[in-house]
Amino acid sequence: MLAKSNTLRLATISSYVDKVCEQFGTLSEVLTVSVTEYVDRAKSGRSHPMLCRCETDDGEELEVYAKYKDFHEELGFDHLAGELVANLFALDMKLPAAQPCVVTVSEESIDMLPDDSNGLDLKSAFDSNGCSAFGSVAFKPVRRWSAGDLVHKGQLADAV
Protein backbone atom coordinates (compact mmCIF):
# COMPACT_ATOMS: atom_id res chain seq x y z
CA MET A 1 0.00 0.00 0.00
CA LEU A 2 2.69 2.51 0.98
CA ALA A 3 4.67 1.74 -2.17
CA LYS A 4 1.65 2.70 -4.27
CA SER A 5 1.46 6.21 -2.75
CA ASN A 6 2.49 7.96 -5.93
CA THR A 7 -0.35 6.39 -7.89
CA LEU A 8 -2.96 7.10 -5.22
CA ARG A 9 -2.40 10.87 -5.39
CA LEU A 10 -4.43 11.48 -2.25
CA ALA A 11 -4.93 15.13 -1.40
CA THR A 12 -4.65 14.99 2.39
CA ILE A 13 -2.87 13.04 5.05
CA SER A 14 -6.16 12.13 6.70
CA SER A 15 -7.44 10.41 3.56
CA TYR A 16 -4.08 8.66 3.16
CA VAL A 17 -4.25 7.44 6.75
CA ASP A 18 -7.78 6.16 6.11
CA LYS A 19 -6.45 4.12 3.17
CA VAL A 20 -3.55 2.74 5.25
CA CYS A 21 -5.93 1.77 8.09
CA GLU A 22 -8.22 0.03 5.58
CA GLN A 23 -5.22 -2.00 4.41
CA PHE A 24 -3.73 -2.85 7.82
CA GLY A 25 -6.73 -2.56 10.13
CA THR A 26 -7.31 0.26 12.58
CA LEU A 27 -4.85 0.10 15.46
CA SER A 28 -6.27 2.94 17.54
CA GLU A 29 -8.50 5.92 17.15
CA VAL A 30 -6.42 8.64 15.48
CA LEU A 31 -6.70 11.96 17.28
CA THR A 32 -7.77 14.96 15.18
CA VAL A 33 -6.82 18.49 16.26
CA SER A 34 -7.03 22.02 14.81
CA VAL A 35 -4.30 24.66 14.98
CA THR A 36 -5.18 27.62 17.20
CA GLU A 37 -1.77 29.27 17.56
CA TYR A 38 1.69 29.11 15.98
CA VAL A 39 4.48 28.79 18.57
CA ASP A 40 7.75 28.19 16.66
CA ARG A 41 9.65 25.72 14.52
CA ALA A 42 11.47 22.86 16.21
CA LYS A 43 15.21 23.41 16.45
CA SER A 44 15.90 19.72 15.83
CA GLY A 45 14.68 16.98 13.54
CA ARG A 46 15.21 16.70 9.83
CA SER A 47 12.00 18.50 8.90
CA HIS A 48 12.02 21.06 11.75
CA PRO A 49 8.29 20.60 12.35
CA MET A 50 6.01 23.45 13.34
CA LEU A 51 5.27 23.65 17.07
CA CYS A 52 1.71 24.88 17.53
CA ARG A 53 -1.10 24.94 20.03
CA CYS A 54 -4.08 22.90 18.94
CA GLU A 55 -7.56 22.10 20.12
CA THR A 56 -9.29 18.73 20.06
CA ASP A 57 -12.94 18.28 19.11
CA ASP A 58 -13.85 18.28 22.81
CA GLY A 59 -11.96 21.51 23.56
CA GLU A 60 -8.76 20.12 25.09
CA GLU A 61 -5.68 22.23 24.29
CA LEU A 62 -2.45 20.46 23.33
CA GLU A 63 0.99 21.41 22.06
CA VAL A 64 1.63 19.57 18.81
CA TYR A 65 4.54 19.24 16.40
CA ALA A 66 3.05 19.33 12.90
CA LYS A 67 4.64 18.64 9.53
CA TYR A 68 3.49 18.43 5.99
CA LYS A 69 4.87 17.06 2.76
CA ASP A 70 7.77 19.08 1.40
CA PHE A 71 9.01 20.21 4.84
CA HIS A 72 12.20 18.73 3.39
CA GLU A 73 12.96 17.36 -0.08
CA GLU A 74 12.24 13.69 0.67
CA LEU A 75 9.16 14.11 2.87
CA GLY A 76 5.95 12.88 1.25
CA PHE A 77 2.56 11.58 2.32
CA ASP A 78 3.85 7.99 2.37
CA HIS A 79 6.56 8.91 4.90
CA LEU A 80 4.10 10.84 7.07
CA ALA A 81 1.51 8.05 7.05
CA GLY A 82 4.24 5.53 7.83
CA GLU A 83 5.36 7.62 10.80
CA LEU A 84 1.78 7.81 12.06
CA VAL A 85 1.28 4.05 11.77
CA ALA A 86 4.67 3.38 13.44
CA ASN A 87 3.67 5.62 16.36
CA LEU A 88 0.37 3.75 16.69
CA PHE A 89 2.21 0.40 16.74
CA ALA A 90 4.62 1.71 19.39
CA LEU A 91 1.78 2.98 21.58
CA ASP A 92 -0.12 -0.30 21.18
CA MET A 93 3.02 -2.08 22.44
CA LYS A 94 3.18 0.33 25.43
CA LEU A 95 6.45 1.88 24.24
CA PRO A 96 7.15 5.55 24.97
CA ALA A 97 6.07 7.33 21.80
CA ALA A 98 4.31 10.54 20.91
CA GLN A 99 0.55 10.38 20.38
CA PRO A 100 0.10 10.83 16.63
CA CYS A 101 -2.64 13.03 15.29
CA VAL A 102 -4.01 14.53 12.12
CA VAL A 103 -3.72 18.32 12.33
CA THR A 104 -6.19 20.57 10.56
CA VAL A 105 -4.27 23.63 9.39
CA SER A 106 -6.80 26.21 8.22
CA GLU A 107 -6.06 29.05 5.81
CA GLU A 108 -6.54 31.38 8.80
CA SER A 109 -3.82 29.47 10.69
CA ILE A 110 -1.48 29.86 7.74
CA ASP A 111 -2.27 33.58 7.52
CA MET A 112 -1.23 34.08 11.17
CA LEU A 113 2.26 32.64 10.54
CA PRO A 114 5.00 35.26 11.01
CA ASP A 115 6.61 36.96 8.04
CA ASP A 116 10.09 35.80 9.06
CA SER A 117 12.02 33.03 7.30
CA ASN A 118 10.38 30.26 9.35
CA GLY A 119 6.88 31.56 8.65
CA LEU A 120 7.56 32.06 4.94
CA ASP A 121 9.03 28.54 4.65
CA LEU A 122 5.93 27.10 6.33
CA LYS A 123 3.58 29.11 4.11
CA SER A 124 5.44 27.80 1.07
CA ALA A 125 5.29 24.18 2.28
CA PHE A 126 1.57 24.49 3.05
CA ASP A 127 1.16 26.19 -0.35
CA SER A 128 -0.79 28.90 1.54
CA ASN A 129 -3.86 26.62 1.53
CA GLY A 130 -5.63 24.89 4.36
CA CYS A 131 -4.76 21.21 4.69
CA SER A 132 -4.43 18.21 6.96
CA ALA A 133 -0.94 17.64 8.32
CA PHE A 134 0.76 14.91 10.34
CA GLY A 135 1.23 15.75 14.02
CA SER A 136 2.67 14.40 17.24
CA VAL A 137 1.46 15.58 20.63
CA ALA A 138 4.43 17.04 22.54
CA PHE A 139 5.42 15.01 25.59
CA LYS A 140 8.17 15.14 28.18
CA PRO A 141 11.32 13.21 27.31
CA VAL A 142 11.63 9.67 28.61
CA ARG A 143 14.62 8.88 30.81
CA ARG A 144 16.37 5.58 30.28
CA TRP A 145 17.01 3.97 33.63
CA SER A 146 19.86 1.52 34.15
CA ALA A 147 20.25 -1.06 36.88
CA GLY A 148 22.85 1.08 38.65
CA ASP A 149 20.68 4.22 38.89
CA LEU A 150 19.64 5.37 42.34
CA VAL A 151 15.92 6.10 42.22
CA HIS A 152 14.72 8.73 44.68
CA LYS A 153 11.17 8.74 46.03
CA GLY A 154 10.14 11.66 43.75
CA GLN A 155 11.39 9.77 40.68
CA LEU A 156 9.63 6.49 41.41
CA ALA A 157 6.66 7.13 39.11
CA ASP A 158 9.03 7.85 36.18
CA ALA A 159 11.19 4.79 36.90
CA VAL A 160 8.36 2.25 36.91
Question: pLDDT digit string (tens) for 15-58?
Answer: 655 665 565 555 457 888 999 999 988 887 777 888 999 999 99
Instruction: Give CA separation, 108 vs 15, 62, 130, in Å.
Output: 22, 19, 8
State the pLDDT at residue 28. Answer: 52
User: What amino acid is encoded at 57 in this protein?
Assistant: D
Confidence of residue 2 (pLDDT cuts 50, 70, 90): very low
CB 17 within 8 A of CB 133: no
The whole-angstrom separation of Cα 112 and Cα 110 is 5
Report the b/e string of 17-41 with b at 16+ CB within 10 A.
bbbbbeeeeeeeebbebbbeebeeb
Residue 81 is given by DSSP the state H
State the pLDDT at residue 155. Answer: 65
Report angle CA 47, 87, 30 to the nearest 5 degrees: 100
Confidence of residue 59 (pLDDT cuts 50, 70, 90): very high
The 10s digit of each residue's pLDDT in 75-115 is 677 777 778 888 888 888 888 888 888 889 999 999 999 99
Q: Strand runs (DSSP E) across the chain, as ranges? A: 31-41, 50-56, 61-67, 100-105, 131-137
CA dihedral of residues 44, 49, 53, 57 (deg, nearest 10): -130
